[in-house]
Amino acid sequence: MRDIRGTILDMIEAIERAQRLSVGLNEAKFFGDERTQWAIYSQILILGEAANRLDRTFQTSHPEIPWSNVIGMRHRLVHGYDNVDWGRVWTTLNDDLPPLLEHLKTFLQEGGSYGT
């Protein structure tokens, strides 16, 4: 099992990759680009899977991160792969991932550790 910092880095990389994949896209272009939709979908899955691997005690000690939302989005996408709400994916990409990325980076910059 990866250490906490490694898992947080996985989460950061997934968000940054999703952001790179969406550079220059507006909502209309996103809805018209199936390849990009599924690429971003995969990064949200990685993000949620990594979050789910973190110990619940660690998650509880960092309430500034909406763990249940991150993990829940992963579950909704995996189990509802045949009926993806691309509008929700777009909103997640643009509204939810940027502040999450900042929280995760702050954790690492402050030398975050278990129970910090």
- Respond yes or no: is residue 88 known to be catalytic: no
The answer to whether 74 and 45 are in contact (CB under 8 A) is: yes
Residue 35 annotated as catalytic: no
Active-site residue among 5, 35, 56, 74?
Answer: 74
- DSSP of 17-45, one letter per residue? HHHHHTTT--HHHHHT-HHHHHHHHHHHH
Interatomic CA distance for residues 56 and 34, integer angstroms: 35
Please tell me which residue in 20, 35, 79, 88 is annotated as part of the active site.
Answer: 79
Residue in this structure with the two tokens 């990389």, named with its chain if needed: 13
Catalytic residue numbers read 74, 79
